[in-house]
């Protein structure tokens, strides 16, 4: 019974199209926060939850707290410096 009540409550708690975005959390990051390159041209999330960003200088991995520029362990490089997709 509780599960049905919870499901009903969740299904009716959607965001109304005209609702102000001021009531929602929005966070952005920049060089001040450690983002090494801007603009970000591509974004993807892997199965482990990391966010991968395609930027002018290659790939950047974000774990929710810090940005780490991707570097291949073998010394191999990406075919192109810019990552758009």
User: Which token pair is 68?
Assistant: 């780490």
Whether the full predicted model's pTM is greater than 0.85, yes or no, is no
Phi, psi (degrees; rounded to nearest 5) at 54: -95, 125
Q: Percentage of the chain surpassing pLDDT 70? A: 60
What does the buried/exposed string (b/e) look like for 7-27 if buried means 16 or more CB atoms within 10 Å of the residue's CB?
Answer: eeeeeeeeeeeeeeeeeeeee
In this predicted structure, the answer to whether residue 31 has a pLDDT above a threshold of 80 is yes
**Cα distances (angstroms) measured from residue 78 to each of 6, 17, 50, 70, 74:** 48, 41, 19, 10, 12
User: Which token pair is 21?
Assistant: 């975005």
Domain boundaries, the chain: 30-85
């Amino acid at each position: 019974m509780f599960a049905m009540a919870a499901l009903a409550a969740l299904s009716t708690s959607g965001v109304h199209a005209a609702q102000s975005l001021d009531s929602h959390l929005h966070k952005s990051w920049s060089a001040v926060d450690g983002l090494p390159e801007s603009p970000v041209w591509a974004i993807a999330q892997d199965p482990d939850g990391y966010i991968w960003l395609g930027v002018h200088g290659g790939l950047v991995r974000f774990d929710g707290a810090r940005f780490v520029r991707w570097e291949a362990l073998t010394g191999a490089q990406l075919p192109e410096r810019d990552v758009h997709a």
